[in-house]
Chain A
Amino acid sequence: MYFSDLGSISLILAAGFALYTIIAAVVGAMRHTPALVASAQRGVLVVALLMLLASFALVASFLTHDFGLSYVAQHSSLSMPWYFTAAAFYGGQEGSLLYWALMLSIFSAIFIFTAKRAPAELVPYVAATLMGIEVFFLLMLTTVSNPFARVPVAPADGNGLNPLLMDPGMLVHPPMLLMGYMSFSVPFAFAVAAMITGKLSSEWLRAIRRWTLAAWTIQTVGLVLGAWWAYHVLGWGGYWGWDPVENAALLPWLTSTAFLHSTMVQERRGMLKIWNLALVIASFALSIFGTFEVRSGIISSVHSFAYSDIGIYFLTFLVIVIIFSTGLFLFRLPKLRPEQEFDSVISREGVFLLNNLLLVGIAFATLWGTLFPLISAAIRHQTMTVGPPFYNQVISPLLALLILAMGIGPLLAWRRTSTAALWRNLSVPVIITALCAAALPLLSVTDILATIGFSVCAFTAAAILYELWRGMRVRHSHGEPYVVALYMLFNRYRQRYGGYLVHLGMALLVVGVIGSHFFQIQKDAVLKVGQDMNVAGYRLTFLGNIDDKEQDRESIASQLQTWRDGQLQGYIYPGRTFYRNFNDQPASQISITTFGLTDLYVFLDDWTGAAQATIRVFINPLVPLVWFGGLVMLLGGVICWWPARTRLATARVSKAGRTSETQPSEHGAKGVVV
């Protein structure tokens, strides 16, 4: 009896329970049998438990070095530290599919636990859809991609993990991104349930928005972590290369961002229902496409270590998902009429439409660029490359407009905005922007495009901060200290101010992107011991190479001194590591030192003996802002998502007893005080 037997049995049982859940939920809902629906809900919880058990079995197999499991033998070795051994759980295809299925079952269980908040008629269908997706993964896991497949003779030691993955980023980036992909399943399940029952109520909208917000936040973190991993591991001085796999991860993020904004229009005005449903379906389909694309190997990418032959199953699943949801969608189309009307284009709705157009436009251009080599190959048998210049030229103008809309949008009121009020809100940010545009060229930012980009970001940041400041001032004038006023603003209007924070983080991130795109300095030099190289005010002195041999790896590191303004700043050790089983894939140990907002990025390109090295240096201005902006976006996302205070529930109850007033959101909390 091995741990793997436990895992195999759990997977098969989970598939059985998931199938049962689908049938019980659908039959229970159609025949109005609450007992059957309750049984289906418990079925979801059993699936989650079984998946936890299976995942535990795989991690235990790794930690006990059970090399009789070919998955364990291929992705770990005796000499790996325990945390990489455990993380190798999702280091290969079978394990990452298991991780996907595990997270889906956990999210399904969370949905069941919070099901009271969702509209009751929808719950069985949501559960059934989630389990339908789960069944697909379980079928893959028990047949073509089984992590618990055993070999007759166990090797003495395993292959070890791909060197690119032997990095702290590996511990966080893949699980976050896979979880992000997975989490678009829940909004999709809500959409399917609403289409089946025809109940697109405001409760439904609230539930689906919160789940989408959670998915969006997770995907944001996954993307930023992915960029961080690339920056620290790949050694080309950048963090985003418009690689097909990066693009695929960006696509559902873009469509769900569009969804989060256009649902506000639906929430307030009852419009755009059809469009919103289409966005939810597209986000899920794109996340399946992303999972498929990494596996398929149809497009050349830096993630080539994930190739396998199961792409065709994902393609089939993707086609089924698209046909099924499009069918439902067309079936429901006649019922989805807008409820309200439009007043004025210079209102917030107008900007939301613009925002949606831009986001979907960016998503489409990215998808088109990713697929174009395939289209070209299919039509005229000529492969071609769609590289970063294409994306930069098509997407940067759209991004600039989007950032501008991010600044203006929140200043506009719903329905109609008087130009006088708009002007009052805009004058300060516009003046700051113009000052910024005038000052930057004097500060030697001579690139026109960079100046425009910085000015647009300055506008948005100024508009948001000014709005925040005005809110604080109003509260302050009613006797609150500024700090308390700031806290109260975020506390009372979570979605609004959380959203501002996300916008602010995005503006910071874009400033970092512009800085590193336009002002990156790169220099290569072949250095002998004692020689210097000078880059943009930094001086590097080469002291020699250090060779370090260990049981499973050999690493070379160059020792360099960094000098700035005649001051010794410290010693850095850029290097390469060769793992025994992956000799042709040396991992890079990149040295990144941050001076203020500028990264000194040093990469050991080549070396000869102990006394000569080819050093490649990048000066990357403003890159730390990318990570900082990402953190601010995460914080904003969490604030938006965070549940309203628990007092709200009591407030609602006490109100319901007194009057028929129903004002659930911010005002509900006051019920206790009044």
Chain B
Amino acid sequence: MKQRRSLFLVLAVVVVAAAVWSVVYLSTPRQQTLDQRVQAVASQLKCPICQGESVADSPSLLAQQMRGVIRQQLQEGKSEQEIIQYFVRSYGEQIVWSPPWQGFSLLAWLVPIGLLLAGVVLIYFTLRDWRALSRSVEARGNDRDILNIDEAELEGYRAQLERELAEGDVLFRRYQTEAQ
């Protein structure tokens, strides 16, 4: 009963959270300012003369000029992709801060994702094998009756062991009651 009550409580809180999120999401302005768009493009380009900084972050003169070019081209109505292509033409592909989702550099993205999915599949099959193994071991054990021990006697020993452990250790007692 208590369990069901807390389930309802959690559900209620989740619903409230979802409601708050959707209200906030709907009320935030979708339209980006020019500054934000410049920033968005500049953060996709690597500052050619810096060590590990994007055009958006770098304080260097060159990056400032590049930000100016981006602003100008955005005002002329060019799309983000066109502007990035413009810089690729003049600086080469290493100007792009992260590999684009096309051509050869697609591999940069797909290989880790593919291997991760392969890992999920591998874990699934490993678990299935382990479970099958445990079933076959159980079946064999029953057939041949290897453990010639009275199950009731064993249960008695088990209970005694748990009792003694619980005497010395209050935490153990807690886990015991929880497991039941």
Q: Which of B141-180 contact A (CB under 8 A)?
A: 165, 168-171, 173-175, 178-179
A424-B3 in contact (CB<8A):
yes
B115 within 8 A of A: yes
- Inter-chain CA distance A493–B107, complex, in Å, is 46
A389-B98 in contact (CB<8A):
yes
A236-B115 in contact (CB<8A):
no
Nearest CB of B to A489, in Å:
8
- Among B9, B25, B165, B179, the residue within 8 A (CB) of A448 is B25
Which residues in A have their C-beta under 8 angstroms from that of B126? 353
Which residues in A have their C-beta under 8 angstroms from that of B173? 474
Q: Which of B113-134 contact A (CB under 8 A)?
A: 113, 115-116, 119-120, 123, 126-127, 130-131, 133-134
- Counting chain A CB atoms within 10 Å of each CB, which of B43, B95, B119, B165 scores highest? B119
A336-355 interface code vs B (CB 8 A; 1 in, 0 out): 00100111010000100110
- Among A350, A389, A431, the residue within 8 A (CB) of B9 is A431
Q: Which of B48-106 contact A (CB under 8 A)?
A: 51-54, 57, 59, 92-99, 104-105
Which residues in A have their C-beta under 8 angstroms from that of B17? 434-435, 437-438
B1 within 8 A of A: no
Q: Which of B1-57 contact A (CB under 8 A)?
A: 3, 6-7, 9-10, 13-14, 16-17, 20-21, 23-25, 28, 43-44, 46, 51-54, 57
Which residues in A have their C-beta under 8 angstroms from that of B28? 446
Tell me the dominant secondary structure on chain A's binding face: helix
Which residues in A have their C-beta under 8 angstroms from that of B112? 361, 364-365, 368, 394
- Among A372, A423, A451, the residue within 8 A (CB) of B108 is A372
A421-B93 in contact (CB<8A):
no
Q: Which residue of B lies closest to A451 (CB)?
A: B21
Q: A341-B133, A386-B99, A605-B59 are in contact. Are A438 and B119 (CB under 8 A)?
A: no
- Inter-chain CA distance A220–B140, complex, in Å, is 47
B13-A389 in contact (CB<8A):
no
A155 within 8 A of B: no
Q: Which residue of B lies closest to A445 (CB)?
A: B24
B130-A376 in contact (CB<8A):
no
Q: A376-B105, A438-B17 are in contact. Are A341 and B171 (CB under 8 A)?
A: no
- Among B105, B115, B168, the residue within 8 A (CB) of A670 is B168
A522 within 8 A of B: yes
A421-452 interface code vs B (CB 8 A; 1 in, 0 out): 10110010011001101100110001010010
Which residues in A have their C-beta under 8 angstroms from that of B95? 385
Which residues in A have their C-beta under 8 angstroms from that of B137? 341
A475 within 8 A of B: yes
B98-A386 in contact (CB<8A):
yes
Q: A389-B43, A389-B44, A448-B25 are in contact. Are A394 and B59 (CB under 8 A)?
A: no
Number of interface residues, chain B, beta carbon within 8 A: 62
Q: A350-B127, A387-B54, A522-B57 are in contact. Are A361 and B119 (CB under 8 A)?
A: yes
A667 within 8 A of B: yes
B13-A431 in contact (CB<8A):
yes
B119-A385 in contact (CB<8A):
no
A357-B116 in contact (CB<8A):
yes
- Inter-chain CA distance A435–B12, complex, in Å, is 10
Which residues in A have their C-beta under 8 angstroms from that of B96? 384-385
- Among A342, A390, A423, A438, the residue within 8 A (CB) of B127 is A342
Which residues in B have their C-beta under 8 angstroms from that of A354? 123
Which residues in A have their C-beta under 8 angstroms from that of B134? 341-343
- Among A237, A431, A437, A667, the residue within 8 A (CB) of B21 is A437
- Inter-chain CA distance A442–B20, complex, in Å, is 8
- Inter-chain CA distance A368–B113, complex, in Å, is 11
B10-A431 in contact (CB<8A):
yes
B170-A357 in contact (CB<8A):
no
Q: Which residue of A lies closest to B60 (CB)?
A: A605
| New A-B pairs, 12, CB < 8 Å, besides A271-B130, A385-B95 | A241-B52, A301-B51, A302-B52, A338-B130, A341-B131, A376-B105, A385-B99, A389-B43, A389-B97, A427-B9, A434-B14, A493-B171
20 contacts between A and B (CB under 8 A): A236-B52, A236-B53, A341-B134, A342-B127, A353-B126, A357-B123, A360-B119, A368-B108, A372-B105, A386-B98, A387-B52, A387-B98, A390-B108, A421-B178, A427-B6, A434-B13, A438-B20, A442-B20, A492-B169, A667-B169
